[in-house]
């Protein structure tokens, strides 16, 4: 089992649909509603299962194929960093129906495997807050 925290966006139907899923190395899993929490992830690596993502791009059903591994995480429920603080930061996106890899800063650059000092969320969006 990895000693890093695994974060992904949950698209599985049910009570945790459209929530951030945080899985800790000890097996504990927590779900966070994006509009009520802000995640600040430290020591991050973007992970992707390219073969699965390419199948999704070619029309197969979506399944889990991308996540962020991080060394630490802060989960804020108050005192959020405002969007204005992050809007000048680089963005991260993942949608295998559009591209079979992580997209960095709204270009087609393949960002799979890239490392970042810090990634933060604002609602449903991801921003690189420290390189």
What lies within 8 Å, CB to CB, of 92 at 6+ separation is 46, 102, 103, 104, 111, 119, 126, 127, 128
Report yes or no on whether pTM surpasses 0.85. yes
What is the Cα gyration radius of the chain? Answer: 14
Each of the 131 residues of the chain gets a pLDDT tens digit; together they read: 569 999 999 988 899 999 999 999 999 999 999 999 999 999 999 999 999 999 999 999 989 999 999 999 999 999 998 777 787 789 999 999 999 999 998 777 899 999 999 999 999 999 998 87
In the chain, what percentage of residues exceed pLDDT 90? 79
């Amino acid at each position: 089992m990895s000693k890093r925290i695994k974060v992904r966006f949950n698209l599985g139907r049910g009570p945790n649909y459209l929530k951030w899923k945080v899985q800790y190395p000890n097996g504990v899993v927590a779900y966070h509603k994006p509009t009520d929490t802000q995640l600040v992830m430290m020591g991050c690596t973007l992970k992707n299962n390219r073969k699965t993502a390419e199948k999704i791009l070619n029309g197969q059903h979506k399944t889990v194929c991308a996540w962020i591994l991080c060394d630490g995480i802060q989960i804020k429920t108050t005192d959020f960093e405002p969007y204005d603080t992050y809007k000048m930061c680089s963005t991260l996106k993942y949608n295998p129906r559009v591209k079979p890899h992580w997209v960095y800063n709204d270009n087609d650059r393949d960002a799979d495997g890239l490392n970042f000092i810090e990634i933060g969320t604002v609602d449903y969006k991801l921003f690189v807050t420290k390189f």
